[in-house]
Chains A and B, each alone.
Chain A
Amino acid sequence: MMEGLDDGPDFLSEEDRGLRAVNVDLQSDAALQVDISDALSERDKVKFTVHTKSSLPNFKQNEFSVVRQHEEFIWLHDSFVENEDYAGYIIPPAPPRPDFDASREKLQKLGEGEGSMTKEEFTKMKQELEAEYLAIFKKTVAMHEVFLCRVAAHPILRKDLNFHVFLEYNQDLSVRGKNKKEKLEDFFKNMVKSADGVIVSGVKDVDDFFEHERTFLLEYHNRVKDASAKSDRMTRSHKSAADDYNRIGSSLYALGTQDSTDVCKFFLKVSELFDKTRKIEARVSADEDLKLSDLLKYYLRESQAAKDLLYRRSRSLVDYENANKALDKARAKNKDVLQAETSQQVCCQKFEKISESAKQELIDFKTRRVAAFRKNLVELAELELKHAKGNLQLLQSCLAVLNGDT
């Protein structure tokens, strides 16, 4: 059964492309435009076609495409994080790994249980699961695209050499995923960072702006995390209820075809209603997922990236203060003074550079966040209204028929 989906054709219709990158309100400009024009789902990986249009002289052509996989996006993201020059910027969060495991498992279970249900039920469920698979697929494409668009929109990051290689080099980048040792190193680095984070954030900031931002981000991040989890659970319950409508519709249909009294017409009509209303309920769940859950998940990642920026700034402040102390000591002992002076200057410059760009980044973050929430909340409300009205119409017309019958 998986074969039908494996050598996938172009899953992305024209209209879908306009709807993507919804979580970020970006000024796209002619100098550099990036999007994911196509994607293919294979057995255990997804292949994204990254399409670039640029008038910049850095590229050999004005328009070109390459094929990239998830690991290569991660490589690019990590190269930004590890680059000291970018310490003062919010690094756009990496897209999450495409995860079709749950969906695949369900499709497999369906295949195994084929004998135990009616042909009609089986077809219904298969369609449902395929739609689910497609939805997950579209989401992962959107998330990878948002990452690239954020980089392309950033005045500094868009000039990054690795980014250009990523966009242009039409061979495999051969970025192996991190091996065990490297993953362990990462783990320890993160541990140290969070331990550090606790110590460092204890220091009250002289600068009001950053002090406020730190307090704000710490709380905001936790609340977004909670809201994201609860939104997820709500959306999934919605989907379960929609699935129940499916089974109820099938049962009513069976009752209707078997019944010899004139209530059979009733059953058949109501079965039809449940089938239709179920599709709407499933769409409600999917739209809530897209406009609410995904939005919150995205800002969970972004607020983490913003926190990371604050941490880097705090770290550089500590380094600066330590360099000052070292300089005083050196002057007192009158030993290695020049070395200490240079070191102190470097730290000072680094700190000031980070502070300056961080301020702007955090202001931009707020602007983006407000715009994204506005867009998504408006669209959420509009879609909820659309679906409720659709549902209402279905129900009322069904009632009209049934009441006319009695």
Chain B
Amino acid sequence: MSAPVIFDRSRDEIEEEANGDVFDIEIGVSDPEKVGDGMNAYMAYRVTTKTSLSMFNKNEFSVKRRFSDFLGLHSKLATKYLHVGYIVPPAPEKSIVGMTKVKVGKEDSSSTEFVEKRRAALERYLQRTVKHPTLLQDPDLRQFLESSELPRAVNTQALSGAGILRMVNKAADAVNKMTIKMNESDAWFEEKQQQFENLDQQLRKLHASVEALVCHRKELSANTAAFAKSAAMLGNSEDHTALSRALSQLAEVEEKIDQLHQEQAFADFYVFSELLSDYIRLIAAVKGVFDHRMKCWQKWDDAQITLQKKREAEAKMMLANKPDKIQQAKNEIREWEAKVQQGERDFEQISKTIRKEVGRFEKERVKDFKTVIIKYLESLVQTQQQLIKYWEAFLPEAKAIA
């Protein structure tokens, strides 16, 4: 059974115009602060909103939120919007190891790094969520941004980003196991699914390479620092004065370069690598949405099959001439006819929503990637400019060895 694809042109156009508005809302996540002690401790983050949109009470306001609050928000949004075809941005991952270190009070660089990584991820998550025109209208989102007190989110275990992913994957498995192949009337959906599958694979590959780069750059930084110290020692023991001085200068240059490598590794990670991992998880959400559509179709199809069965049952009753059973059969037929109609409407609606969502997603993706790539290249430019400065300063020192 195939479904005609109907577009309500005029309504679409109106929504398009609304989307064309520059979304004048900016979210910042900052000032991570440890609250409490021991295993009950948690990090509180300041969420600051700057906006000129009239739906908010003020132009600038901030609240304190903890990680489980973010998960709670996401679970609410996902429950409401995923199954009707909206691509709800996934929340950042939970990390037991990372968080335990912070709770236990390990004040080392790895826990500071962890907190910073999480802060940046939470910020990106909120920015993506508010950019979505439909989600921005959601009262739960507004409450999250505005109200000073927020009821504690419960059951975030099951509804963490990973939890949602598991749900999505289970749905996908269920779909794959369907023996009835959906009769896809619209090639667009098949094409898009394939495209996202390919994109997913490629992004994963790229992400792995960038992660390797981050790792090697950090190694390079450490090795450069070690060499700098060693060169300084060598300079100390060199008994030719001018050469000794030049070697000390070399050590200084290498120390500065080590700093440079560290900063570059930072950029490698926060600008490039994290974008890629965000998109890998976003695409999982997109895939989930496609799978929901299949489930929706399945429901509709099942309803049609059941209606057919009810009609056959009615025919049997009429032959057997059982008046009270006939009435029951007619009621059931009416019931299932309504369900079939609802199923068709739902399916059309989700298909329409997905088309729009994918269009928006692709636009965002293009913009995101362009912005990030340019930002990343600019970080590389900065590194090279600094390198030139350092070596230009060193060259005369080397030439001065007499």
Contacts and interface: CB of A to CB of B under 8 A. Distances in A.
A227 B362 CA distance: 52
Contacts of A260: 195
A366 interface: yes
Interface in B186-240: 195, 198-199, 202-203, 205-206, 209-210, 212-213, 216-217, 219-220, 223-224, 226-227, 229-231, 233-234, 236-240
Nearest to B384: A392
Contacts of A219: 237
A126 B151 CA distance: 60
Interface in B344-392: 362, 365-366, 369-370, 373-374, 377-378, 380-381, 384-385, 387-388, 391-392
B302 to A, nearest CB: 34
B240 A366 contact: yes
A186 B129 CA distance: 74
B202 A384 contact: no
B394 interface: yes
Interface string B114-142: 00000000000000000000000000000
Contacts of A377: 246, 250, 398, 401
Contacts of A247: 209, 212
Contacts of B202: 251, 254-255, 258
B209 A374 contact: no
Interface in A23-49: none
Nearest to A296: B234
A266 B375 CA distance: 13
B384 A374 contact: no
A224 B234 contact: yes
B369 A234 contact: no
A263 B206 contact: no
Contact of B224 (A234, A384, A389, A399): A234
Given A219-B237, A233-B223, A377-B246, A226 B401 contact: no
Nearest to B247: A373
Interface in A257-307: 258-263, 266-267, 270, 273, 277
B216 A241 contact: yes
A406 B373 CA distance: 12
A133 to B, nearest CB: 22
A267 B233 CA distance: 45
Contacts of B229: 230
Given A223-B233, A258-B198, A251 B205 contact: yes
A373 B239 CA distance: 13
A216 B237 contact: yes
Contacts of A266: 369-370, 373
Contact of B213 (A212, A245, A259): A245
A270 B370 CA distance: 11
A246 B230 CA distance: 31
A385 B391 contact: yes
B11 interface: no
Most buried by B among A219, A220, A266, A374: A374
A193 interface: no
A245 B206 CA distance: 11
A105 B199 CA distance: 34
B377 A378 contact: no
B9 interface: no
Given A374-B398, A377-B246, A385-B392, A261 B220 contact: no
Most chain B C-beta atoms within 10 Å of own C-beta, residue among A220, A244, A267, A403: A244
A227 B226 CA distance: 9
A129 interface: no
Could you tell me the dominant secondary structure of chain A's interface residues? helix
What are the 3 tightest A-B residue pairs by CB atom distance, in nearest-first order? A237-B220, A251-B206, A377-B398
A273 B376 CA distance: 13
A402 interface: yes
Contacts of B203: 255
Contacts of A237: 216, 219-220, 223-224
Contact of B374 (A233, A251, A370, A399): A399
Given A234-B220, A244-B213, A373-B243, A261 B395 contact: no
A56 interface: no
B181 interface: no
B152 interface: no
Contacts of B227: 227, 230-231, 233-234
B177 interface: no
B238 A220 contact: yes
Interface residues on A, range: 35 or more
Interface in A373-391: 373-374, 377-378, 380-382, 384-385, 388-389, 391
Given A389-B388, A406-B374, 15 more contacts: A227-B230, A233-B226, A234-B226, A240-B216, A247-B209, A258-B195, A266-B369, A273-B377, A373-B243, A373-B246, A373-B247, A380-B398, A385-B395, A392-B384, A392-B385
19 contacts: A216-B237, A220-B237, A234-B224, A241-B216, A244-B210, A260-B195, A261-B362, A261-B366, A266-B370, A270-B377, A366-B240, A370-B243, A370-B401, A373-B401, A377-B246, A381-B391, A391-B380, A406-B370, A406-B374
Contacts of B240: 366, 369-370
B219 A240 contact: yes
B395 A381 contact: yes
A334 B398 CA distance: 64
Interface in A79-103: none
A234 B239 contact: no
Given A216-B237, A223-B233, A391-B384, A230 B209 contact: no
A258 B202 CA distance: 9
A251 B384 contact: no
A71 B195 CA distance: 61
A248 B216 contact: no
Contacts of A220: 234, 237-239
A238 B216 CA distance: 8
Given A230-B223, A251-B205, A255-B206, A395 B381 contact: yes
Contacts of A370: 240, 242-243, 401
A392 B388 contact: yes
Nearest to B380: A395
Contacts of A384: 387, 391
A396 B382 CA distance: 10
A380 B237 CA distance: 22
Contact of A259 (B199, B209, B236): B199
Contacts of B231: 227
A277 B381 CA distance: 12
A49 to B, nearest CB: 35
A74 interface: no
B236 to A, nearest CB: 8
Interface string A149-171: 00000000000000000000000
